[in-house]
Structure 1
Amino acid sequence: MTNFLYNQDLPADLDLGNAVAIDCETMGLVPGRDRLCVVQLSAGDGNAHLVQIAKDQTEAPNLCRLLRDPKVLKLFHYGRFDIAAMYKTFGALAQPVYCTKIASKLVRTYTDRHGLRNLLQDLLQTDISKHQQSSDWGAPELTKAQIDYAASDVLHLHKLKIELDRMLEREGRTEIAQKCFEFLPTRAQLDLGGWPEIDIFSH
């Protein structure tokens, strides 16, 4: 496994295939307030590619091209947050998308444990550390511990998708999951527009 660190954008010639796992690190958990600091990606090959985002940066052409590419499926865990963070920063809306947290909530109804660490433990018998989750991602230089942590959030999403897809098919919920994934970018836009916890479908 190798972790690659880039400054402000992905290399123009980097090919991550037709399905790429993506996660973000920010200065906090409010996408309209807290700036994007790191975007990490993996093709599912054991390698991770981290892009460090500068303060006030608004462009990353190669990353945005990937986010918008209709032929590349973007895999997230809690994509609602990551999609919103990148859209606010770059104006690029990630599509098409798949979210392992949504898939888990639709099919693992026997539990309320849908965090990434829980999924990895239960479905892949893999454990990851979350010790760096609340560290300063806006620091000029990332520590090795931060880099390793960020990488761990994307290295296993392809395998998780396989397991969750099997469960969704078994329970007859593949179609409804796909419809949820298709709505996810709009859900992220609603968050940024001021409807974060309002059920617009309620009476």
Structure 2
Amino acid sequence: MKDRNFNWLIAEPAPYGLSPQSLQDYNYNTFSCRTGNIYTTALLLQWTRWALGISDVPTEVWSDGQNYFDPFRPAIEPGGFLSCEEMIRSRMETLGAFRKCIETSRIRAKTPGGNRRALSEYISGLELLNAERYLPMGAAVIPQPHETIVDGCKTEARFSVGSRRLSVGSFIDDELHPESDLSHMNEAFGELWLRQFLTQLAMA
């Protein structure tokens, strides 16, 4: 939009004096406020309800033992926040800015999401989730194979084509899922996932 000389609302301006690289690193002037990517209507509704006071703002915080991260936008601050209070304050500032966007903007645009940065955020989010929740229990969430991901956040459509039901002793064993089913993956996806899993298992 900026490249085409459009005006757009920046409700959460950057501190004065930040370099262009710091603006990018700290997610200023990327969107109207520092929410990070909002890919789904459910996520948009969640932010809207928080900003307008319809739902209570969560108090959840992630920590790696040194710094603090906002689980709803884990990559928004490089390296994390120095304190829990700083993170909460930043979240509330963004919610205030988000409310300003709702109340003052005349046109709201949602672009098709996803790029290399979105994939990086997905990976960073899983790493933080594992460090905070699962690794202390001796478990881990295994990421989706990167080669199956398009636009940084979506599974390539061909991996849901021809998926079949599991064999569990039912009369519909091995039947194809309906063409409209996008939540189950096919054998090609399973092969890639298993190869990745077995490789990680061998390295553990």
- Larger strand percent: 1
TM-score (structure 2 length as normaliser): 0.28
TM-score, with structure 1 as normaliser: 0.28
